[in-house]
Amino acid sequence: MSYTAPIRDQRFALETSADLASLQALDAFSAVDDDLVDAILTESGRFAAGVFAPLNRVGDQVGATLKDGIVTLPDGFREAYRQYVEGGWGSLGGAAEHGGQGLPFALATACQEQLTSANMAFSLCPMLTLGSIEALTAHASPHLQATYLTRLISGEWTGTMNLTEPQAGSDVGALRTVAVPAGDGTWRIKGQKIYITWGEHDVADNIVHLVLARTPDAPAGTKGISLFVVPKFLPDENGNFTKRNDLTCVGLEEKLGIHASPTCTMSYGDNDACTGFIVGEELGGMRAMFTMMNHARINVGLQGVAIAERAYQQAARYARERVQSAKIGDPARTPAPIIEHADVRRMLMTMRAVTEGTRALTYANAAAVDRAHALPEGDERRAAKGRADLLTPITKAYATDMGVEMASLGVQVHGGMGYVEETGAAQHYRDARIAPIYEGTNGIQALDLTGRKLNMDGGAHWRALAEEMRADVERVPAAMRVALAGAVQAFVDGASWLSAEGRDPNDAAAGAQPFCRLAGHTICAWLLAKQAGEAQRRLADGKDEAFLTAKIATANVFVTQIAPQAAALLPAVTAGQDPLYAVPGDML
């Protein structure tokens, strides 16, 4: 059940799919040389494997506990988090003016992958803080930024997102939490939020909640929502954050997985004394929320990559050690490790290929975010933002769906022992299952992709991606060209059908989920085929032959065996709503 950070795989993905060299050429990242990248990946991997990973099992078995409004984590978690803060791992991508290191989001994403593979439940704590940092950086007043950003970036304090209420899940506009002016520039917050990840805990000294609420006379729906900073502790008369705010954790969910991640029901203003500070303008909550959510959605997609990697490592190790039956065709019928059996090998190669494909997708998405922030104003920056926006729902939905499927394959490789908790394979599957649900269900992601992102700027961004993929077909290894070309054509046909003028939105909605999967298959195939082409070029130098040959073989499995599924999904994309509504609802 140990974990080893896949540093060479990550570095190769950064170089090829994130185009690390082009990021290093930008003024914002000119100090990020290759030696620094190597050092960060190596030390982050060592930290993840040595500090976070050993707590994964106890976190699952013991979990978070709630008593008298206080949530306690198992022994070792507070010390591990202290080491995380002291190591500066939370500050990698933070702005330098607030104590951050100003490194590319793509590089920070690789480090976050390591933490998530090592301990998904624990990694959610810093992940949610990163989303809070993004929202405050983009929307908060200078005073709020000065008060909170430095301590959030350092990790001294942690952050949360408070969106969901019992009646307001995906329909955020139905929320009822209210914020009333207190007369001194602050606001009184009152209401209850559910499913708040790391909403209460004992690993940091303060928790900065970002809470969506409705102000007096605000219009109905999402247009009436504002965002507020609501800290667990407020400053006392000496400026020290020791004064407890009027907020309480009143419940802790019992969940299928991520047991060490406290999923809290938070009550604000039970004594009518909960103080909040508005972020940005009144009624600007949705815009600020999407800043948080888009960042979080990429990192949740990364969870799919990370759990697939962890499940793959464990399955491959077990398959090398488990001896059972002779390999077909062995005349001596000598029992062999199950890794020699074709079906087990198929599962392992599928896990390997999908993990590397979704890693490439996620890193490419993160690099597009970097370019959207760091390029000078102009067409290139707008194109980078369009690419980042287009990829984000695909990253979130496709990578998390694949993470669940790969964790399931990990259980299958173990056979009966995979179904037994003792091996740990089941934990990966249980932990993975939440990722397609939170931060916007994958159905919502698919609707966002087909309803909004395909139509951005008249469809310019998906068409630019399609043209780039088409142009690369003739540049990838010959054995992959036919399959890649077929997947790209399916992507074009599906996107064209969905975005056609006059298309019934319900017909498009019916095809959204299969198209999102089609897009994921296609883009991952394209990125891996490009990796294979680069591996072929490097092989000519006579170095890293085993590593590079494995890259080509892994890409070949994805492009020739998984990518053809894209074309098979096209009929589901274009079928419209009628087949789904042919059976009356009362008969379902």
To the nearest 10 degrees (0 to 180), the angle between helices 285-321 and 342-374 is 150
Q: Characterize 107-136 residue by residue with b for buried, 16 or more Cβ atoms within 10 angstroms of its Cβ, and e for exposed.
A: bbbbbbbbbbbbbbbbbbbbbbbbbbbbbb
- CA 580 to centroid of chain Cα atoms: 30
Residue 48's pLDDT band (cuts 50, 70, 90): very high
Enumerate residues 6+ apart whose C-beta is below 8 A from 433.
256, 257, 404
DSSP class of residue 187?
A: E
Q: What is the pLDDT of residues 334-374, one digit of tens each?
A: 999 999 999 999 999 999 999 999 999 999 999 999 999 99
Q: Characterize 201-240 residue by residue with b for buried, 16 or more Cβ atoms within 10 angstroms of its Cβ, and e for exposed.
A: bebbebbbbbbbbbbeebeeebebbbbbbbbbbbeeeeee
**Residues 203, 43: Cα–Cα separation, whole Å:** 22
Query: 14 φ, ψ to 5°?
Result: -65, -45
Domain ranges of the chain: 7-154, 158-284, 459-583
Scanning 174-323, the segments in alpha helix (DSSP H) are 285-321
Enumerate residues 6+ apart whose C-beta is below 8 A from 39.
none
**In the predicted model, is pLDDT for residue 1 greater than 80?**
no
pLDDT at 433: 99
Of 439, 468, 501, 534, which is the active-site residue?
439
- CA 330 to centroid of chain Cα atoms: 44
pLDDT at 432: 99
Contact call for residues 297 and 322 (beta carbons, < 8 A): no
**In the predicted model, is pLDDT for residue 434 greater than 80?**
yes
pLDDT at 324: 95
Q: What is the pLDDT of residues 470-528, one digit of tens each?
A: 999 999 999 999 999 999 999 999 999 999 988 999 999 999 999 999 999 999 999 99
Contact call for residues 446 and 394 (beta carbons, < 8 A): no
Query: 325 φ, ψ to 5°?
Result: 70, 155
**Residues 241, 72: Cα–Cα separation, whole Å:** 20
Enumerate residues 6+ apart whose C-beta is below 8 A from 248.
69, 266, 267, 270
Which tokens is 118 given?
């090592």
Within 10 A of 335 (CB to CB), how many other CB atoms are there?
12
Q: What is the pLDDT of residues 375-430, one digit of tens each?
A: 999 999 999 999 999 999 999 999 999 999 999 999 999 999 999 999 999 999 99
Per-chain mean pLDDT for the chain? 97
**In the predicted model, is pLDDT for residue 238 greater than 90?**
no
Out of 3.30.450.20, 2.40.110.20, 3.40.190.10, 2.60.120.590, which CATH number does the structure's domain 158-284 have? Answer: 2.40.110.20
Contact call for residues 393 and 301 (beta carbons, < 8 A): no
| Three-state SS annotation for 127-141 | HHHHHHHHHHHHHCC
Enumerate residues 6+ apart whose C-beta is below 8 A from 570.
490, 493, 494, 518
Q: Is residue 439 annotated as part of the catalytic site, yes or no?
A: yes
Give how far Cα 530 sits from Cα of 83, 278, 357, 391, 453, Å: 38, 46, 11, 17, 24
Contact call for residues 285 and 215 (beta carbons, < 8 A): no
pLDDT at 562: 99
pLDDT at 508: 97
Residue 543's pLDDT band (cuts 50, 70, 90): confident
Nearest to 432 by CA among 397, 453, 403, 452: 403
pLDDT at 542: 86
Out of 3.40.640.10, 3.40.50.1010, 2.40.128.130, 1.10.540.10, which CATH number does the structure's domain 7-154 have? Answer: 1.10.540.10
The mean pLDDT value for 450-465 works out to: 98
pLDDT above 90 coverage of the chain, percent: 95
The mean pLDDT value for 77-101 works out to: 97
The mean pLDDT value for 99-128 works out to: 98
**In the predicted model, is pLDDT for residue 104 greater than 80?**
yes
**Residues 487, 518: Cα–Cα separation, whole Å:** 8
Query: 238 φ, ψ to 5°?
Result: -100, 5
Within 10 A of 80 (CB to CB), how many other CB atoms are there?
18
pLDDT at 80: 99
pLDDT at 107: 99
**Residues 306, 297: Cα–Cα separation, whole Å:** 14
pLDDT at 237: 86
